[in-house]
Structure 1
C-alpha cells in the first residue's frame, strides 16, 4: 500500500480515524474551521497559550513527568502530568480558550493513564480545535547535532501516535521549534516534505534579529533545499517576538512574579487601566517589526500551566478589557489563537515574503555569547547516540526479516520499540546536544542501553536460527565464529577488529577459505594490547568467519622507523621526519597529491573574567580566552610506532600522556582513518580545555569550507560572513564554528579533502586551507544558561576525567567526483555492521551466508528505513542520497522497481499490495528525494 509520496507527509487523502464516517466529516469541518474571527481593520493579537516541556534537561524524563519534592524540585519545579490535567480542566470551562501541546513523549504517557471517559473528552477538545498539537514529534529535537534518519524516526513515532489516536484533527500543521539553539536547513526541508504548512521558532542570532526587525523580515519563505524542485522544500517560517515567553509584565503562571489583573474597582490596588495601557504599548511596539495586521504572542514558558487557572483567568480578563477599549477607538483586537490559526491569517494577507536559502547557524544571543560549544559537548554520549541509531536500524531490519519468530521465542519477548523510544528521547535539544545535567545524561545513556538489551532479545532467535547455535553480543572464546550483518543495501568492505587474548589466530570465510588477517600488539599507551583484524566484503547480508587457535597469523609490534603508509591502489601517506606529523596525502588512482599536516591543540576556555565580557565557556557556549590555540605535544617530535601488513598499515602516535592517535590505512580503502584518543583532559592547572585537531593543507580555499546539514545536503561556509546580513564579528573563533554532523570538506578547482566524522562535532576553517574539528571539552565553569553545572565529565572507570575515542576518515578526490566517495562512506560510518559471536565449532548444516535482498539497490539509492509497521505490514523508506549538482554519475534520477525480492527467515515474503496499474511499482527518485511506502507481509 502506497502511503504517500514524501517522507511522512501528513495530509494524505485517506483519513485514519476510529470514528464513524459522519464523525470524521464533522471533525474535519470543525478542527479546520475552529479559529476565532479576526477584524480586518484592527491589529489582531493572537494569544497562544502553551507550555515548553523539556524531555529531560535539569531533571530526567521521569522526574519531569511526575514532579514532587523527591524528584529534585530543589533544582526545578515541574510536573508535566499536572500541566495536562489542569489544562484540560480549564479548556472545558470556557469554549473560547485554546491550548497547544508539543512533546508527544509526555502526552503519550499521560494519555495511557486516563480513563476512557477522559480520553473521549480530550478527543472532543481536539476535534473542536480547542486543544491543538504542534510539531508532534516524540520530542522537540536538536537541530545541530542530530542525524536526519534519527529525526525522521522520532517524528514518525510521535506523529503516528497522534494520527492513530485523534485522526485528522490530531495531525499537526505547524512545526514548532521554539527552544533549539540555531536552526538547520535540513530540518526545514524535512518539515516541508512532511507536509507542515509553516515553521515557528524563538531563537535567532541577535544581529540577525535586529536587522530583521528593522526591515520587517521576521517572517519569510525558507527554501530549504538546493536539489528539490520548489516548492517541495519551501516552508513559511516565522521568528517569534519574545523567544517563547510572554511580553514582559504579562506572565501569570505560578512560577511568575507579575501581578494578576485586579479588576474590582472597590479595591485599592485596582490595575486594569495600567494593564491595558501597558499591553497596548507592547502590542503596538511588536507590530512595528511585522508586515501584517496580525501578530502572535506566546503566553507561556518552561513547564508552565501546572495551575492553568492562573493563566486562563487572567487571559480572559485581558481579552475582555483590551477589547472593551475598541468602543473608545482602540484598534487592537485580542483573541485566543493557535499557530495554525495565525498562519492562516498570514496566508490570507497574500503578501510577498523574503526568501532565505542558507541556515540559522551559528546562534549568538550577545556579542561574546556564541552557542557553538554544544556542537561537541559530551562527545561520548554523542557517539553512543550515533551507534544506537545504527543498532536500531539493524534491529528493525532483523525484526522484519525474522518475522513473528523474532518477537517471541525461548529467549523471551524482544522488541524494537524500547530502543526506538530511547532514541527518540535522545534527539531532544538537551539530550544529544550535551546541554543537560550529568545525572540526566546518565539517564539518557541508561535508556539507550536498555533498548539495546531489548533488541538483543529480539535478534537472538533470528541469529540462532541462522547459526543453528546460540549467539551472543559478548565473547571470550579460544575458538569462535563472528556474524557480520550489513544494514546497508549496498556491498561494502568493512574491517573487523577484535580484541584477543592470544597471539595465534587464523581466520576463514564462509566457504572455508583463509582470510588475510593479522594480530597486532599495541604499544603501552594503548589500553587494549592485541587486536585481530580482517577485512570482510558484504552485500547487504550476514556472513561469518571462524577464528581458531592456530599459528597462521604473524604478530606485528611497533617498529621504530620513518613512517610511511601506502596501499596498492588508492592512497599514500607521508610523515615529516623531523616532527613525526602527517606531511602529505596522495590519491594514487587520480594522481593527486596535497600537503597535509595534522596536529592536536587546545583552546584555553574563558573563565568569564575578560574585560569585554563576563561570559565563560560552558556546555552551550564556546568562548576561548585567545584566538591562538596551544599545541598539545610538548616535544619537537611525536613518539610513533609503525605496523605494516597486507590487511592494515598503522602509525601509532603519542602526542602527550592524554592524547594519542592511530593513523590507519586498510588495503584497498579509499579513506585514511585517524583514530584519536583524548583524555583525561588535565585541569590541575585550573584551565578548562577545548581540544581540537587541525588539518592544514595546500588546498586554496579562499576563506570557504563546507559542512553537512544533519547528514544530508552540504552548505558552503565563509569565514566572518553571513549570507543575509552584514556580520560584525566579535568572537573570531567561536563565531566561525559550525556543526559537522557527518562530514566537512575543503576544496579548490583541483582537490577536495573530505573529513567524515563518527559523531556530531563542531568545526571551522579559520585559515585558508585549514580545517579544525573540536573533539573533547572539559570545563570548570557554568555558562549561565540554566544548567548551573560545569561540563566536567568523569565516571567510575575514569574518575580523573572522561577518556574519549573516535575516528575521522579522510578522502582525497577531484571535486567533481568526491561525493561518489564521501556520501557512501558517511552512510557506512552511520550504519555500521552488527557483530555477533558464537562459541566453538559449527555443524555441517549451519547456514553460513544470508542476504535479505537478492540484489543491491542502485548506488544513488539508500535504504533509509525497513521496520515493522503492524502485524501485516512493513514500513519502507527509500531515499536518493545525492544532491543534484555533486556527481556526474549519481546526481541523476533513479528508477526502482518496488517489487523487490526480499528473503525472510520465516515462512513469509514481502510484497507490494496489488495495484490495478502495475506501473505504480516503478518509482523514480530524484536527487535528495525521500519516498515512504507500506509493504504487505504475505504468508506462503
Structure 2
C-alpha cells in the first residue's frame, strides 16, 4: 500500500509517516499459546533503565562515568535488536520512551526498518510507554498524563497500532496510587504490573492467591476505572543464580553432553524446584510470570538469550518435573495478562481493591516515606515547570504558531517527562544528578520562553515586545522591575474561568503607579521584603521592597497588561509593638490572631467559625544507627519531634491589600503569615535552612486544632481524589504500629484535610509541592518541609542527602494555604470548605503567569497606543466544576483538548453534578469544525479501544452510577458531558479565525 493510499484510507490521531508497511502480527496475535494441563512459564526479557539516578540521563544512555555505574542504554538497544531478530520466538519489552527516542534519532533507515518489523511481528513490544516510568506518590496527575501522552505520541507516530502499549509496567516506583490506576484505565490499558507493595500486604497476597486482582482506581468513575493488576511475587530481578549479563556472576547454562561443564540438567531442575514450584500455590491460574532482567541489563543481549534458549529447550523437552508438566516460553506482560484472562474467563477470586498502596514498606522499620519531602526545592521547580508548560502549550495553540516552533515546545515536554521519573522528582538521586535535572528543566523553560514571547507579541500586536518570566521571583529578584523607571506587567491566566491574581514584584522605591488596561489606576501596596528572603543564598539583589497589586478579572486563557511607573502613592505601615489582626476595613473574609507573647498564630476566624489553631515548627533527629538509617528514601526518626523555638520574634505590616506578620523562629526558620483582602485563605510563607551538615534534621510544621477527628484525615491522590487515612490502620491487613510516625506518613501532593463531622468543621492545608504529612494526634496536621540526612539509607543512592546550593547547605522556601469552613453547608448559600479548596488548588497549581517587559514609553497613553492590552482565548468562562486541562498543538490541522470535571460526587450539592460544555464558538482564535474522542493519551480513537474484561467475584456494583458509554455525548453538536472526576480527550479539527 502506498503512502498516498495510507493517507486516503487511514485517519490517524497523529501524523502519518510514509514508512514500509509490514503485515501486523503484533499484540495478542503474537503471543505463544498456553497449554492446558501445564504450568505455563512466561519468561520476560526486560531491562529496567532509570532515566537518571546515580548517573545523569546522558551518562546512563552513552555509558560515560563508567566507574560510577556500569550502564550504557544505547548498547542495550543495539544488542537487543541484533539478538531478537536472530530467532522468531525471542521477545523483549521496551519501557522508557525517553531512552528509546534518543536511540531512534541516531539510527539509519535500515536499522529503523529492522525494528519496525520486529515490532510488527510482536517480538519487541512497548510496555508502559511513558517518557519515563513515573513515580506515583509525589507526582501531580497533570504531569503524569502529559508525560504518558508525550511518550505514546512518539510511539504512535513511529509505529502506529503495533507501537501502542497495552499494559502499565510500574515495577520500581516506591508505592502505587489509585489515581495512577485510574489513569492507566483511561489510557485504555488492559492492566498493570507492580512490584513494590508493603511487605505485609505481599505476604498475605502470596498466601491467599491474591497476586492478581481487579483494582478500582476511582470510586467516582466506577467500573470504567477498573484495572487488572498483577504483582510480581519477588522482585523484577531474575531468580537467584539465573542472571546472565556482563555484570552478573552466575554460571551460564551448558547443554553440551560431552562437555565436562555440562550442567543444564542440574540447573534446569534447580530453576523449577526453587523458583517455579514455590509460586504455584500463589497464583489463580496455571500461568507464572518470571522477569528475566534487571537494572540496565541486556548490554550484551546474546548472553541472556543463549542461556534462556537452553533453559526453555530443556524444560520443554523434559516437560515433567516433580509430578507436574511445564511449558516455558518467551513472553511479555501483555501476553501473560491475556493468558490469565483466557484461563480465568476474566473472573478473579481476589477481593476488589478500592484503596491504594501507600505508604510502601519493604521490611519492618523500613518505610519509604522520606522521599515524599526529599529535595524539596526540586519538587517545587517541577511544579513551576508544569505551570509554564501549560501556559506555553496554550499560547502556542491560541496563536497557531508555525510548526517549526514546536521543537522548542518539545524541549519542555521532554524535560517535564524526565522530571516525573521515580528517581527524579522523588529526590532519590545523587546530588550532581539532581543538578542535571534542574539544568534540563531550565533549558526546557528557556526554549518555551521564546515560544510564549512570540505568541504574546502576536496577540499584543507589537513584535518588538520582550516578555520575560522572572523565575527568580521566589527570592524577590527581577532585574527589569528593580532597575526600570517604567515597565509593563502582562498577567496570563491558564484557567478556564476568570481569576484575580496577586502580583508581587521587587522594586527599589516606595512610590509607584500601576495603570490597568482600562486606563484606571490600580490600588497598590509597598511592603518590606522579609529578612529570611533577603538572606537567601545566591540572591543578587539589594532591593528591600516589594510592590503588591491585584490584577483583577483576568479572562480565561487570556491576559491583561498593566503599565507600572514610579511616582504615585504607595503605603508602608509598620506596627511593631501591638498585636494586629487583619483589618475589618479591608473587607477581609478571614482573620488570624497572634499570641502577643509567643508570637505565633493561635486562632483563626472565618465567617461564624472561631477555631483554635496553633502553628509552630519542630524537627525530628534522623536515625543514624543500624543498617537502614534515615536517608533519601527512608524516614526513620530517632525519638519524638523537638520544638525549634517556643517563641518567635515578629513584626506586623498592614495595608489596603494584605496584612503580613513576619516571624523569626531561629537562625534557620522564618516565616511570613499573610492574608489578602477579599480572600478566604491564609498563606504561610516559610523559609527553612541552612541546616547544619553535622546534625541530621527533618524539619516539620504542625497545625494543632481543637477539632475532634477520631484519628482520621484525608490526603489527595496525585492532586485529584481524596483518600481517607486512619492512623495505624490499613484496609486489607493489620498494620505494624511500632513505627508510629513513619508508618503513618503519606504523600501530600496537593492537600491534607481534617474533618470534625460532629461539629461540621473542616480544616485543610494546601501545599505548593509534594510533602510528607500526617495527623499523628487528633486535630493536628503535620507536614515535613525539609530534610538533611547524615547517612545513606543503603537503598542505592550511596550518598547522604545533604544538599548544597551556592556553596552552602540549601535553603528551601515554600507556602502553605490554610482553609477553614464547614463540611456541609450551614446555610443554603454557603460555600463549603471543600469547594473553597478546589478553587484554590486550581489557582495554585496553574497559577496566572506574570511576564514583565521593559518599555521606553513615558506614559500609559504612549504605552497603550496600538497595543491589545487585554485578551481572552475563550468567549465565555467554563462552569466552575470544569477545566480545560490540556490545549496543545497536535498535527498541522488539529489540536488536542482535554476537559476535566474537577469535583467528586460528594464534594458539593451543585458542583458535583454532571456538567456539559458547549464547544461551539468557544475559542476566539480558531473555530472547531469537528471533534473526535480518543483515549486519555490521545493515541487511539476511543471507539476502537477494546479492553480485556476482568472482574472480582465479590464485585457487586448494583445500581451504582458509572461513567461509561451511556453518558450522553452530543459530539455532533460539539457538546460534551462530563461526570464527576471524568477526563475526556478530543482531537479538534479546526480552522483559524482571520
**Correspondence for 1:375 among 372, 375, 382:** 372
Tell me if structure 2 keeps the 8 A contact 1:15–1:167.
no
**Correspondence for 2:566 among 529, 544, 549:** 549
Structure 2 counterpart of 1:572:
591
What does 1:61-460 align with in structure 2 at a 5 Å threshold? Answer: 61-67=57-63, 71-230=64-223, 232-281=224-273, 282-326=275-319, 330-348=324-342, 349-350=344-345, 351-352=347-348, 353-404=350-401, 415-460=408-453
Structure 2 counterpart of 1:585:
604
Structure 2 counterpart of 1:629:
641
Structure 2 counterpart of 1:536:
551
Matched, 1:755 2:808: no
**Correspondence for 2:745 among 732, 737, 743:** 737
Deviations 1:365-415 (A, max 9, x none): 11111100000000000000001100000000111112236966xxxx972
Structure 2 counterpart of 1:693:
701
Shift of 1:909: 4.4
Measure the CA separation in 2 of the matches of 1:181 and 1:509.
49
Structure 2 counterpart of 1:4:
none
Question: Any idea what SS the aligned residue of 2:358 has?
Answer: coil
Tell me if structure 2 keeps the 8 A contact 1:720–1:735.
yes
Tell me if structure 2 keeps the 8 A contact 1:672–1:811.
yes
Measure the CA separation in 2 of the matches of 1:918 and 1:314.
55
Tell me if structure 1 keeps the 8 A contact 2:252–2:307.
yes
**Correspondence for 1:806 among 810, 814, 818:** 814
Structure 1 counterpart of 2:466:
471
Structure 2 counterpart of 1:7:
none
Measure the CA separation in 2 of the matches of 1:34 and 1:523.
64
Matched, 1:42 2:44: no
Point out the more displaced range, 914-923 or 97-106. Answer: 914-923
Structure 2 counterpart of 1:825:
840
Point out the more displaced range, 930-939 or 369-378. Answer: 930-939
Matched, 1:494 2:494: no
Query: In the superposition, relative to structure 1, how do residues 138 and 869 fare at CA in structure 2: closer, same or farther (>3 Å)?
Result: same
Measure the CA separation in 2 of the matches of 1:550 and 1:362.
55
Deviations 1:38-88 (A, max 9, x none): 211011110000000001111111111111xxx211111111111011011
Structure 2 counterpart of 1:674:
684
Matched, 1:836 2:831: no
TM score, norm. by length of structure 2: 0.88
Structure 2 counterpart of 1:708:
716
**Correspondence for 1:892 among 909, 913, 923:** 913
Query: In the superposition, relative to structure 1, how do residues 175 and 840 fare at CA in structure 2: closer, same or farther (>3 Å)?
Result: same
Point out the more displaced range, 31-40 or 361-370. Answer: 31-40
Deviations 1:525-557 (A, max 9, x none): 441621010111212221122221114112234
Tell me if structure 1 keeps the 8 A contact 2:42–2:330.
yes
Point out the more displaced range, 299-308 or 511-520. Answer: 511-520
Query: In the superposition, relative to structure 1, how do residues 434 and 891 fare at CA in structure 2: closer, same or farther (>3 Å)?
Result: same
Measure the CA separation in 2 of the matches of 1:121 and 1:265.
36
Shift of 1:521: 2.0
Query: In the superposition, relative to structure 1, how do residues 327 and 440 fare at CA in structure 2: closer, same or farther (>3 Å)?
Result: closer
Measure the CA separation in 2 of the matches of 1:802 and 1:557.
31
Query: In the superposition, relative to structure 1, how do residues 172 and 562 fare at CA in structure 2: closer, same or farther (>3 Å)?
Result: same
Measure the CA separation in 2 of the matches of 1:558 and 1:782.
47
**Correspondence for 2:520 among 508, 513, 519:** 513
Deviations 1:811-849 (A, max 9, x none): 111113222111121111111111112223204222211
Shift of 1:440: 0.9
Tell me if structure 2 keeps the 8 A contact 1:660–1:676.
yes
Question: Any idea what SS the aligned residue of 1:416 has?
Answer: helix
Measure the CA separation in 2 of the matches of 1:621 and 1:85.
36
Shift of 1:637: 2.5
Deviations 1:424-474 (A, max 9, x none): 110000001110111111111111111111111112223234163522325
Measure the CA separation in 2 of the matches of 1:61 and 1:751.
48
Measure the CA separation in 2 of the matches of 1:182 and 1:448.
25
TM score, norm. by length of structure 1: 0.93
Deviations 1:735-783 (A, max 9, x none): 1100011111101121111111100111000000001000001111111
Query: In the superposition, relative to structure 1, how do residues 754 and 266 fare at CA in structure 2: closer, same or farther (>3 Å)?
Result: same
Query: In the superposition, relative to structure 1, how do residues 18 and 577 fare at CA in structure 2: closer, same or farther (>3 Å)?
Result: closer
What does 1:648-687 align with in structure 2 at a 5 Å threshold? Answer: 648-683=658-693, 686-687=694-695
Measure the CA separation in 1 of the matches of 2:601 and 2:879.
36
Measure the CA separation in 2 of the matches of 1:153 and 1:401.
19
* RMSD of aligned Cα (Å): 2.1
Tell me if structure 1 keeps the 8 A contact 2:750–2:841.
yes
Query: In the superposition, relative to structure 1, how do residues 13 and 290 fare at CA in structure 2: closer, same or farther (>3 Å)?
Result: farther
Deviations 1:675-720 (A, max 9, x none): 000010123xx32010000000011100000000000101000111
Question: Any idea what SS the aligned residue of 2:408 has?
Answer: coil
Measure the CA separation in 2 of the matches of 1:666 and 1:161.
45
Question: Any idea what SS the aligned residue of 2:44 has?
Answer: strand
The alignment covers a number of residue pairs equal to: 903
**Correspondence for 2:867 among 831, 836, 846:** 846
Query: In the superposition, relative to structure 1, how do residues 731 and 332 fare at CA in structure 2: closer, same or farther (>3 Å)?
Result: same
Query: In the superposition, relative to structure 1, how do residues 15 and 759 fare at CA in structure 2: closer, same or farther (>3 Å)?
Result: closer
Tell me if structure 1 keeps the 8 A contact 2:932–2:986.
no
